[in-house]
Amino acid sequence: MAEFGIGELSGKSGVSRRNIYFYVQQDLLPGAIGAGLAARYGEEHLLRLQAIRVLRARGMRLDEIRERLKRLGLDGLKQLLAEEPGPMESPALRPESRAFAAGSASE
């Protein structure tokens, strides 16, 4: 299983460290494995962050996303992400998109 530090997870997901911590607090993302400098994140964390971005781009609120993610295991997350275009293929997730900017500010 791949493991990442917070910086690696942020880079791979495109989600800021601050938002990662916020998502953990909001129960959208499980906490890290370990604490402090030894804290590690795995594949499930990365997939959940990607799914959050996809669902936010669809206009879902965080409470709706939390409920949706509670019902999805790893296979469900993979299926959800497989149904979506690549991250830069979706107009809402392109950096130049207004939806991207609005979503980034509120993530």
The token pair at 18 is 């601050």
- Please report the pLDDT score of residue 1 as a whole number: 66
The token pair at 35 is 């604490």
| Residue 14, helix vs strand vs coil | coil
- When mean pLDDT is compared across 14-18, 22-26, 63-67, 80-84, the lowest value belongs to 80-84
| Residue 68, helix vs strand vs coil | helix
Taking a C-beta distance cutoff of 8 angstroms, is the pair 69, 51 a contact?
A: yes
22-51 pLDDT per residue, tens: 999 999 999 999 888 789 999 999 999 999
Residue 102 has pLDDT above 50, yes or no: no
Q: pTM for the whole thing?
A: 0.73
Higher pLDDT, 102 or 73: 73
